[in-house]
Structure 1
Amino acid sequence: MAVMWAAIVLVGAVCALDLVLTLGVVRRLKEHTAHLERLLQGGPAGAALEGTLPTVGATVGEFTATTLDGEEIARSSLSGETLVAFFSPGCAPCVEKLPGFLAHARERIGGRSLILAIVAPGEPAATAEMTAELRQVATVVVDEDFSDGVANAFSVTEYPAFCLVDSEGTVLAVERDVARLAAPAER
């Protein structure tokens, strides 16, 4: 009879231990899933995983940059309603959304003069490939000075990001997918 009680206690202890370990695994899986979702949102190498986007209604900070065509641009050079896109060559969501952006940009009224593409520095070959595609439809800047460049002026640390900005530098709309940006009549 004592052996039977010992076996029951042992089985109970093993079941309790199994329950505790299972609950620990479930908790770790939830943490792991949240971490993977943050990683899949993308961003330039070394950027914070939980990035920021500009706020609608905010004013873009002052910036100056040189485009790949050698033209100097600044916040004051924004005219009309400018579409500003932020990409990073090492970012999977950026590569995924690039064809949609290119198609949207080709149909956008105003052409290259009202489309600005900011590319975070990355692996040289990938950066060159991305900028070559973007130059067909937009004015392109490689934002070498990430900490104090155009992305910083827009408060962007999450890629891809798409903003509509008026000529005063006020952010009119912000999205992570260019297809979701509303046409001017829809806002």
Structure 2
Amino acid sequence: MPFLIAAVACIGLLCLLDLILTLGVIKRLREHTELLATRPSGGAPMYPAVGEEVGEFSTATVEGRRLSRADLDDETLVGFFSPECQPCKEKLPGFVEFARSLSGGRERVLAVIVSAGDDPGPFLAALSPVARVVVEEPGGALSGAFMVGAYPALLRVTKDGGGRLIVTSNRVALDEPVAAK
């Protein structure tokens, strides 16, 4: 009988602890809901929408070649990476392999390294053989023209019937097979 009383008392204490923890979680969820509700809406998008037109830009590649919106051919793969970003480091090898398998070579691939101070060297070394590479500060010409605010961003762009450069995909799956060169 004393074991039964002790077991019931332990189960009661365990249930009380569970109730206290659950009430704490509920309180915290309410606080987060209020914070999210007071957050200003209408912030800048993180990626351009499919069908969105790419803005005008003028920049130079790391090789010194001038690059503008008119220089992007049909079906161009565009990747935005940042050395400060762990997911960028994880996606980089897949992007390089995917870009290598595309028809059209380097002229059909644009890689943008957005760096606020970290050394872009490892990214530059990996991307240069397969893409035209631009290194820029956050909020640079290409980030603004493509409306990219989060990294990595993998896009496909092409010219529509009217000659406008538009985004055809804002989520490129690097693991899907591509026609070989």
TM-score of the superposition, structure 1-length normalised? 0.70
Do 2:156 and 2:172's aligned partners in 1 also have CA atoms closer than 8 Å?
Answer: no
Describe the shift of the 1:66–1:27 C-alpha distance in structure 2 as closer, same or farther (beyond 3 A).
farther
Hey, what does 2:155 align to over in structure 1?
Answer: 163
Secondary structure at the counterpart of residue 166 of structure 1: strand
Hey, what does 2:88 align to over in structure 1?
Answer: 94
Do 1:97 and 1:177's aligned partners in 2 also have CA atoms closer than 8 Å?
Answer: no
C-alpha distance in structure 2 between counterparts of 1:147 and 1:64, whole Å: 14
Matched, 1:81 2:81: no
Do 2:84 and 2:118's aligned partners in 1 also have CA atoms closer than 8 Å?
Answer: no
Pairwise CA distance, 1:143: 1.8
Pairwise CA distance, 1:151: 1.0
Determine what percentage of the aligned residue pairs are the same residue.
42
Residues 115-154 of structure 1: pairs in structure 2 closer than 5 A: 115-125=109-119, 127-144=120-137, 146-154=138-146
C-alpha distance in structure 1 between counterparts of 2:82 and 2:45, whole Å: 13
Secondary structure at the counterpart of residue 103 of structure 1: helix
Hey, what does 2:171 align to over in structure 1?
Answer: 175
CA-to-partner distance for each residue in 1:26-71, whole Å, 9 max, x for gaps? 6548999xxxxxxxxxxxxxxxxx9611110110011111100101
Secondary structure at the counterpart of residue 90 of structure 1: coil
Secondary structure at the counterpart of residue 175 of structure 2: helix
Q: For residue 79 of structure 1, what is the amino acid of its counterpart?
A: D
CA RMSD of aligned residues (A): 3.1
Describe the shift of the 1:165–1:18 C-alpha distance in structure 2 as closer, same or farther (beyond 3 A).
closer
Hey, what does 1:114 align to over in structure 2?
Answer: 108
C-alpha distance in structure 1 between counterparts of 2:30 and 2:65, whole Å: 48
Pairwise CA distance, 1:20: 4.6
**Uncovered stretches (5+) of structure 2, i.e. residues with no partner:** 1-11, 33-43
Secondary structure at the counterpart of residue 170 of structure 1: strand
C-alpha distance in structure 2 between counterparts of 1:64 and 1:134, whole Å: 20
Matched, 1:104 2:98: yes
TM-score of the superposition, structure 2-length normalised? 0.72
Describe the shift of the 1:51–1:91 C-alpha distance in structure 2 as closer, same or farther (beyond 3 A).
farther
Describe the shift of the 1:93–1:27 C-alpha distance in structure 2 as closer, same or farther (beyond 3 A).
farther
**Which sits farther off after the overlay, 65-74 or 147-156?**
147-156
**Uncovered stretches (5+) of structure 1, i.e. residues with no partner:** 1-10, 33-49
Pairwise CA distance, 1:21: 4.8
Aligned residues: 152
